Structure 1
Amino acid sequence: MHGFAGPLGLKAGATPPRGTLDELDLALVNALQMAPRAPWAQLARPLGVDAATLSRRWSRLRDSGEAWVTCYAAPSQVTYGALALVEVSCVPQAREALAEQLARHPQAMSVELVAGSCDLLLTVAAATMSLMSGYVLALGRIETVIATRTHLVQRVHRDASEWRMDSLSRDQRRDLAETEDGGARTAVATLTPEDRVLLLALTEDGRRSVTSIAAELGRPESTVRRSLHSLLQGGRAVLRCDAAHLYAGWRSSATLWMAVPPAQLLAAGDELSRLRSTRMAASVSAEANLLSVVWLHALDDLARYEVQAAARITSVRVLNRAVNLRWVKRMGRLLGDDGRSTGCVPVDPWHPIA
């Protein structure tokens, strides 16, 4: 059995001071990254505490906005349509108001205030190229928007749902691997309208009970349970556990746009995916044909990351950097200044353009 006493000497059942996550909190988030819907009883033995303690801890983290589990369409469902990072330049005094406005768009997966060649950076998902085109054109018609630049994703080498906090021992990770919501995956198919209804029902709380979902949708629990299993095991939707990054010790993040020779693009994307700080890596259709979203403990870690990338990919050139000033929205979650969740605007790639 594994016991926890946090860096401040906290016991497993104690509540950490505001503004930090203790070791058990971080281990719990790490465990839910591996097995987002696992029952507390299954997580109790690897984490070394009882199920009731885990349930209480998670309730506190969820209710305070310090951690959450969300659900969204798998990258395979939108790259057939369009997934893109969109740089937005705007009237300086309108930055915050515009960011809040764009965060309410269901097509905007994430909205960041950034330092770099643009003011805002959006991650946008649309089910079809036509919807993506319409969304970008609509952005340009907003009065305070000066310019946009769109980077269409060709391939996701690493999705942020695959990133893990390093808060568990090797033995704990091995124990949890048996619990992980994985196993044999069926062939990926296209999301059906029924799938999308179920996906949206899970967006705000990916651990929501089958009973609750069935009551909302007016369907038998057995039907919802089978549909949910098919949705997740079929690879059509992704569950992701996230945390308020500042509370978890990740003080900075950045998006790097890089260029490599086309013949090396696939291998370079895979190499970036292996770097510890890489949250997301993707090939894009632009002069900068490779991008990486990086989470850092401190801003000066960015230079070390670039050195690591260059050591692995000798031909890589960094063409641009967007350093995060503040997350306004991340994968559907509205975030406060301290990174805690304050609400949810579900990501809906099928939403019509307003």
Structure 2
Amino acid sequence: MRSRAPELSEEDLALIHTLQIAPRVSWAEAARVLGSTPTTLAARWQRLREAGLAWVTVHSGERSGDVVAFVDLRVDPTERAGTIQRLALDARAASVEETAGGRDLVLTVIVPDYDALATFTLDDLPATPGVRAVNTHVATKVHRQGADWRLDALDRDQQAALREAARHAESPAGDRIPTSHWPVVEHLARDGRRNAAEIARAIGRDPATVRRQVARLLASDALAFRCEVAGLRSRWPIVCTWFAQVPMTELYRTVRSLSTLPELRLLVSTAGQSNLMFLLWARSTGDLMRIERLVNEKLPWLRLSESVLTLRTRKRMGWLLDQHGRATGDLVLPTSLHPA
């Protein structure tokens, strides 16, 4: 078991912010933006990865057609540890969080269709040892996601330079990932900065072929790269989710306003009594109160119905985490990254 790691330094945060904007930027380009050297940045990134403090991975993109749902579970306290372990190893549960406030666990479920969601939530979860109750919130639209969230370590000029470096041409071959590309996808999920030559050696394929496949994946909207950070080691260790009801006539204005919050990690329209769910990373519980007051003042038509505090994240987008939120190095490839 890893010991408690020190807080991230300013240089660490700047590098992570860089890779949030441009996950596969070259070390040479990153060094020009950050005023460092490629060797220094590569060594710093290796240290962060090995410590489980940050990592680059991939997930299904905006046009994948996946069904996303957030599932609340009540579990038997005597079977909690075993239940969490079983769920963390299930590829359909992309994320697993231990929470307070009316439920014990919250799962982020990503599956290919509604039949698969019904099977998981109506059949498999109720039959899981330790699970007492299941409540499902189906996402109708994901407005913002974790990959959109940014640290505040770079200035505007640095961010603009990295956005320009991250631009890529649109894929001429569409957004469907060919079956032949999936071994490459799996390796990119484990290390989103791995180059084509390394992947080719690992899977025993021709380097030129793998380079073409990587280029196609980089240009495809069916796949998205993201740089993750261990939340407890960042400046925002408090995670809270709010459920709200918003008149449909005010939805667009609400989404636009909430999207300006720098703490926003996730913003989703859902089916049900609460039609909007948003998750924030905050600096402190006092910061949560400030944000709630701000939301009430700016959006008087929004009715907050419930808040849920995350106590510990055990799995995030397939990556298993330790008690401090650091990547253990173990990945359960999400269902969304399995070939159809």
- TM-score bracket, normalised by the shorter chain, equals over 0.9
Which residue in the other structure is 2:331 paired with? Answer: 344
Matched, 1:255 2:247: no
Task: Report the Cα offset of residue 204 of structure 1.
Answer: 1.3
Please name the residue that 2:82 is paired with: 97
- Counterpart selection for 1:217 from 166, 189, 203: 203
The CA deviation at 1:20 is: 1.1
Once the two structures are TM-superposed, the CA of residue 115 in structure 1 deviates from its matched residue by 0.2
Match for residue 112 of structure 1? Answer: 97
The structural deviation recorded for 1:310 is 2.6
> C-alpha offsets along residues 137-175 of structure 1, whole Å, 9 cap, x if unaligned?
201111311111111111111121111100012222222
Q: CA deviation at 1:347?
A: 1.3
Q: Secondary structure at the match of 1:194?
A: helix
Query: 1:231 is matched by which residue type in structure 2?
Result: L
1:29 alignment partner in structure 2: 16
Match of residue 295, structure 1, among 281, 302, 314:
281
Match for 2:79: what amino acid? Answer: A
1:107·1:351 contact (CA, 8 Å) conserved in 2? Answer: no
* 1:41–1:51 Cα contact (<8 Å) kept: yes
What is the aligned partner in structure 1 of residue 39 from structure 2?
52
- For the 8 Å contact 1:254–1:323, the answer to whether it is kept is yes
How big is each residue's C-alpha offset from its partner over 1:155-211, in whole Å with a ceiling of 9 and x where there is no partner?
Answer: 11112111110001222222222212x345448633332344332221111011211
Residue correspondence of structure 1 range 1-354 to structure 2 within 5 A? 18-77=5-64, 80-136=65-121, 137-180=123-166, 182-186=167-171, 189-342=175-328, 343-349=330-336
Q: For 1:99 and 1:235, how far apart are their aligned partners in 2?
A: 32
SS in 2 for 1:175: helix
Give, in whole Å, the separation in 2 of the partners of 1:201 and 1:324. 30
Structure 2 contact 60–337 (Cα < 8 Å) conserved: no
Q: Distance in 2 between matches of 1:175 and 1:81?
A: 32
Alpha-carbon distance between aligned partners in 2 of 1:257 and 1:52, rounded to the nearest angstrom: 45
Counterpart residue identity of residue 69, structure 1:
V
Aligned-partner residue type, residue 314 of structure 2: V
CA distance in 1, matches of 2:284, 2:242: 16
In 2, the alpha carbon distance for the partners of 1:93 and 1:221 equals 51
Between the two proteins, what is the percent identity of the paired residues?
35
The alpha carbon displacement at 1:350 in A equals: 6.8
For residues 337 and 227 of structure 2, what CA distance do their matches in structure 1 show? 23
Distance in 2, matches of 1:320 and 1:196, equals 40
For the residue of structure 2 that corresponds to 1:178, the secondary structure is helix
TM-score by length of 2: 0.92
AA aligned to 1:118 is R
1:99 positional shift? 1.6
- Secondary structure of the corresponding residue to residue 165 of structure 2: coil
- Partners of 2:338 and 2:158 in 1: CA distance: 41
Q: Secondary structure at the match of 2:324?
A: coil
Tell me the distance in 2 between the aligned counterparts of 1:126 and 1:344.
Answer: 17
SS at match of 2:63: helix
Quick check: 1:269–1:290 contact (8 Å CA) kept in 2? no
AA at the equivalent of 1:167: A
Deviations 1:43-82 (A, max 9, x none): 00111111100010001000111111011111431xx341
Q: Deviations over 1:270-318 (max 9, x none)?
A: 3222211111111111111101011011122222222222333221111
Three-state SS of the structure 2 residue aligned to 1:346 is: coil
Tell me, yes or no, if the aligned pair for 1:81 and 1:129 is still in contact at 8 Å: no
The ranges of structure 1 where at least 4 consecutive aligned residues each deviate by more than 6 angstroms after the TM superposition are none
Q: Partner letter of residue 40 of structure 2?
A: T
Q: Structure 1 length normalisation: TM-score?
A: 0.89
- Note closer, same or farther for the CA distance 1:121–1:219 as it changes in structure 2 (3 Å cut): same
The alignment partner of 1:201 has SS state of helix
Counterpart CA distance in 1 for 2:185 and 2:197 is: 15
Q: Aligned-residue CA RMSD in angstroms? A: 1.9
The worse-fitting range, judged by mean Cα deviation, of 28-37 and 165-174 is 165-174
Is the contact between residue 83 and residue 128 of structure 2 (CA under 8 Å) also seen in structure 1? no
